[in-house]
Amino acid sequence: MALRSWVTSANDAVSDFPIQNLPYGVFRHRERTRIGVAIGDQILDLHACASHGLLAPLSEEIIAACSAHLLNPLMSLGPESWSALRRHLSALLDADQADTQTQGRTEALLVPMRDAAMQLPAQIGDYTDFYASIYHATRVGKLFRPDNPLLPNYKYVPIGYHGRASSIVVSGSEIRRPCGQTKGSNPEPVFGPAHSMDYELEVGIFVGPGNPLGCSIPITEAEQHIFGVCLVNDWSARDIQSWEYQPLGPFLSKSFATTISPWIVPLEALAPYRVAALKRPAGDPAPLPYLASPSSDRDGIDLTLEVYLQSQRMRHTGVMPTLLSRANLRDLYWTLAQLLTHHASNGCNLRPGDLLATGTISGPDEGSEGCLLEKKLNAEPIRLPGGEVRTFLEDGDQITFRAYAEKPGLPRIGLGECTGTLLSPYLPHIHTGS
Amino acid sequence: MALRSWVTSANDAVSDFPIQNLPYGVFRHRERTRIGVAIGDQILDLHACASHGLLAPLSEEIIAACSAHLLNPLMSLGPESWSALRRHLSALLDADQADTQTQGRTEALLVPMRDAAMQLPAQIGDYTDFYASIYHATRVGKLFRPDNPLLPNYKYVPIGYHGRASSIVVSGSEIRRPCGQTKGSNPEPVFGPAHSMDYELEVGIFVGPGNPLGCSIPITEAEQHIFGVCLVNDWSARDIQSWEYQPLGPFLSKSFATTISPWIVPLEALAPYRVAALKRPAGDPAPLPYLASPSSDRDGIDLTLEVYLQSQRMRHTGVMPTLLSRANLRDLYWTLAQLLTHHASNGCNLRPGDLLATGTISGPDEGSEGCLLEKKLNAEPIRLPGGEVRTFLEDGDQITFRAYAEKPGLPRIGLGECTGTLLSPYLPHIHTGS
């Protein structure tokens, strides 16, 4: 029988945060910034747990890491420490294991989620974004190169690029429509608000211990360097992107904002949902040896991903967010381990708290596109409840990602929400013009 | 008559660090990490100056910033504070202004450069690399697209991309030749040590106060956000780059290492060497209004840049480093102010300590190429003293950049050295293969 928590909201079938999940985040409450663990609709304050002696059996370095204001110290400790802490927290919150006294002492350290403001979970030293969905790469490629959608390197190289760390914001932050250069049919480009605003549905991994500069991380050890996963919306201005991206890749079309969900779900919590990774079609090359995983049936994660849109008009008229797409993490061409190993394969040092995102996750079928750009290939435009039509995002649109893993006999594990509302551009300092 | 310091080595005509320079850096000496100012062959310890009361007339926040272990707090204060500190330090070190007692107290806080180990000057939150030399872009473009070297966006968009912050190292650090995927004439790529190792001669700017997310920086205010300049070597593996770079730009071909010089020369020190920026040829478009500078005759900086190579054999046989190229910062198509304003034009927040590099700086003529890749267009390969020939770098090669501004009647201002030696690859964890 599955574990149950004495925090009753955690046993609710629709909660993202049963006792089997126990994701980490950083929250602000009563002017204090603390590391917490999500359980049902509550947050267990780990700093308070440490100072009240509830973490006493754990090592000093784990207790110190739980008392920090960011998750970087905990991320640096590695999987043995993560497992020890997770087992201990599970016992504290377990309806069967915790005695009345332990439950009482722990209960006093819960903070209702509604009273807390979630923060960025870590200092993100570097942010890297990949391009790991072959369905996404193929659809986007078709728009630019109808006869030759997939470039020759795609099936060999986990393509990625460095993103901007400074403009990563936590779920709920408002997003300003950026200004930038765009090139329409006139000979000259113009500078002004971007028109082709898009979201990108992605999963992020936070790096654990990482590697020293000049060394690499073998594929067999890659998952020991993954602290956990979250949702990522790599907001994109497609009209800025198409004009700026050659030859060095996307830059200002992405760097105005990236939203992440606040809760980092440990890889251990997702263990029951591991599946074989996407099977490479016959004729595709095998991964080069440095990217070849010895395991074959547990390299993927069966995690359903959803995109919802609620326009300003829908919000004002009480219409619920509408589902735009549903995709699955298992459909990536490259696994999370392959992305991490490739990243470090040149000796590039990954540091605790670095964020690696998958790139847009799309499935093979209509309805599984991870961004609006791909939906341009469909015959019909997007019709919202209430009659609005969308090609790209309008000011006031709120985009929400959700993700969950489920399996008969086990409670659902959710990643929580990654949400943001697009605002009109900030103009005072802008010389629009020419 | 030009100022002279009582630190006599600062008055030496070949010193990079006369009293007119006063660059900031972070050094380690007797197990302490301190902010210092270079003067001749000495470093003035600013932490010691603060604790001995030598900075007393300055504001508390300047004094606190000088006592930090990194330059980020000082960078955040802005140009008025930078000027106040610079005037004060100049007075302390000036042979005419400093009285005997001040000189004695200050002299006791000097550390000989030879006894100090220079460190990275700041926590670099994000590193961005541009492509601001039209001569470089044109030569590199010719190699890939002989008929159409310059892409249509080049004269409108200051092209740039996000670089990797974690692998930035200070001058003197050894550089490991990276491994990576390369594609020769065989149908399949291979993974192994890169063969086409190159340097890139660049200038970096450290960001001062910066801008909040969602706001921008007008071109008229851009230089108020430039704390100072240094040299940057953006080491590149050309064979990895040509296979990986489409469609998202360079990634592992660059992220294995970037070297910067340790001393940050204030923009104020370079004021006497300001010149008109490169004149756009007739027929080129004017910059869009948000990038149009109201000043026209002082947007550039006349800074000579040099690349030296010394092979292992040259070192062993006592042969001095040989000059490979000489270029000038004034030859960039985009000014430093334009790079910074463009970067923030989409609302991307720039933070104190962020590093923006120009991209490879090349001039129009043979002998002014800022990287080896460009030299492939020349009729003759590179011949080193002693008979060695180079197309790309060999293990053991040491690359050193130097830079200086000079003008009749003024002492020379130098940026110091940016140097690194290429080592053989680190292989224990590498599955070379197939």
Please report how many Cα atoms fall inside a 13 Å half-sphere around the Cα of residue A398, on the Cβ side: 19
Q: Which residues of B are catalytic?
A: 136
Does residue B241 surpass a pLDDT of 70? yes
Q: Do A153 and B348 touch (CB under 8 A)?
A: no
Residue B429 lies in a domain: no
Residue B113 lies in a domain: yes
Q: Is A214 on the interface with B (CB under 8 A)?
A: yes
Q: Kindly state whether residues A251 and A209 are assigned to the same domain.
A: yes
A222/chain B closest Cα distance in angstroms:
12
The residue among A97, A119, A141 that closes a domain is A119
Q: Kindly state whether residues B55 and B151 are assigned to the same domain.
A: no
Residues B45 and B36: beta-carbon distance below 8 Å: yes
Q: Kindly state whether residues A321 and A351 are assigned to the same domain.
A: yes
Domain containing A57 — which CATH number?
2.30.30.230
Alpha-carbon distances, residue B35 vs A116, A365, B23, B113, B231 (angstroms): 39, 58, 11, 13, 19
Q: Kindly state whether residues B90 and B166 are assigned to the same domain.
A: no
pLDDT band at residue A2 under the 50/70/90 scheme: confident
Q: CA torsion sign, A25 to A28 to A32 to A37?
A: negative
Domain containing A176 — which CATH number?
3.90.850.10
Structure confidence at residue A210 (pLDDT): 98
Which residue shows structure tokens 């990243």?
Answer: A343
Q: Kindly state whether residues B77 and B183 are assigned to the same domain.
A: no
Residues B355 and B124: beta-carbon distance below 8 Å: yes
Alpha-carbon distances, residue A187 vs A182, A184, B153, B160 (angstroms): 11, 8, 11, 22
Structure confidence at residue A432 (pLDDT): 43
Strands A226-233 and A201-207: antiparallel
For chain A, give the mean pLDDT.
95
- Which H or E run contains B12? none
Q: Kindly state whether residues B13 and B161 are assigned to the same domain.
A: no
Tell whether residue A200 is among the known ligand binding residues.
yes
Q: CA torsion sign, A187 to A188 to A194 to A198?
A: positive
Counting every residue, how long is chain B?
434
Q: Kindly state whether residues A112 and A242 are assigned to the same domain.
A: no
Residue pairs spanning A and B at CB distance below 8 A: 225
Alpha-carbon distances, residue B190 vs A156, B239, B310 (angstroms): 10, 11, 30
What stretches of B134-240 adopt beta strand conformation (E)? 160-162, 168-170, 175-176, 179-182, 190-193, 197-198, 201-207, 226-233, 236-237
Structure confidence at residue B362 (pLDDT): 98
pLDDT tens per residue across span A179-234: 999 999 999 999 999 999 999 999 999 999 999 999 999 999 999 999 999 999 99
Residues B406-434: what's their mean pLDDT? 81
Residues A399 and A174: beta-carbon distance below 8 Å: no
Residues A418 and A259: beta-carbon distance below 8 Å: yes
Q: Which residues of A touch B162 (CB under 8 A)?
A: 161-164, 251, 255
User: How far is the C-alpha of A414 from the C-alpha of A14, rounded, in Å?
Assistant: 9
pLDDT tens per residue across span B97-137: 989 999 999 999 999 999 999 999 999 999 999 999 999 99
Domain boundaries, position A312: 127-423
For the stretch A425-428, contacts whose Cβ atoms lie closer than 8 Å and that sit 24 or more positions apart, written own/partner, are A425/A176, A425/A177, A425/A178, A425/A179, A425/A193, A425/B347, A426/A176, A426/B214, A426/B215, A426/B216, A426/B347, A427/A179
* Percent of chain A clearing pLDDT 90 (strictly above): 92
Q: Do B349 and A167 touch (CB under 8 A)?
A: yes
Residue of B nearest to A187 (CA): B152
Q: Is A288 on the interface with B (CB under 8 A)?
A: yes
Structure confidence at residue B380 (pLDDT): 87
pLDDT tens per residue across span B273-311: 999 999 999 999 999 999 998 777 999 999 999 999 999
Q: Kindly state whether residues A49 and A149 are assigned to the same domain.
A: no
Which of B355, B360, B373 minimizes the C-alpha distance to B401?
B360
Residues A245 and A253: beta-carbon distance below 8 Å: yes
Q: Which residues of B touch A346 (CB under 8 A)?
A: 178-180, 237, 240, 252-253, 255-256
Structure confidence at residue A377 (pLDDT): 85
Q: Kindly state whether residues B105 and B135 are assigned to the same domain.
A: no
Structure tokens at B329: 């910062």
Q: Kindly state whether residues B19 and B105 are assigned to the same domain.
A: yes
Which one of A142, A181, A346 makes the best mutation probe of the B interface by having the most chain B beta carbons within 10 Å?
A: A346
Q: Which of A163, A176, A290 sits opposite B431 (nearest CB)?
A: A290
Residue B123: alpha-carbon gap to chain centroid: 15
> Between vectors from CA B248 to CA B245 and to CA B251, what angle results, nearest 5°?
55
Residues A335 and A342: beta-carbon distance below 8 Å: no
Residue B152 lies in a domain: yes
Does residue A434 surpass a pLDDT of 80? no
User: How far is the C-alpha of A376 from the C-alpha of A196, rounded, in Å?
Assistant: 12
Residue B432 lies in a domain: no
- Which H or E run contains B352? none
pLDDT band at residue A1 under the 50/70/90 scheme: low
Residue A432 lies in a domain: no
Q: Kindly state whether residues A48 and A151 are assigned to the same domain.
A: no
pLDDT tens per residue across span B353-364: 999 999 999 999
pLDDT tens per residue across span A53-97: 999 999 999 999 999 999 999 999 999 999 999 999 999 999 999
The residue among B52, B87, B119 that closes a domain is B119
Residue B368 lies in a domain: yes
The residue among A64, A98, A119 that closes a domain is A119
> Between vectors from CA A314 to CA A310 and to CA A316, what angle results, nearest 5°?
120
Rg (Cα) of chain B, in Å, rounded?
22
pLDDT tens per residue across span B162-209: 999 999 999 999 999 999 999 999 999 999 999 999 999 999 999 999
Residues 353-372 of chain A with CB under 8 A from chain B are 354
Rg (Cα) of chain A, in Å, rounded?
22
Q: Kindly state whether residues A175 and A280 are assigned to the same domain.
A: yes
Residue A2 lies in a domain: no
Which of A225, A226, A206 minimizes the C-alpha distance to A215?
A225
Total of domains in chain A: 2
Task: List residues forming the annotated binding site of B for Mg(2+).
Answer: 234, 254, 258
Residue B2 lies in a domain: no
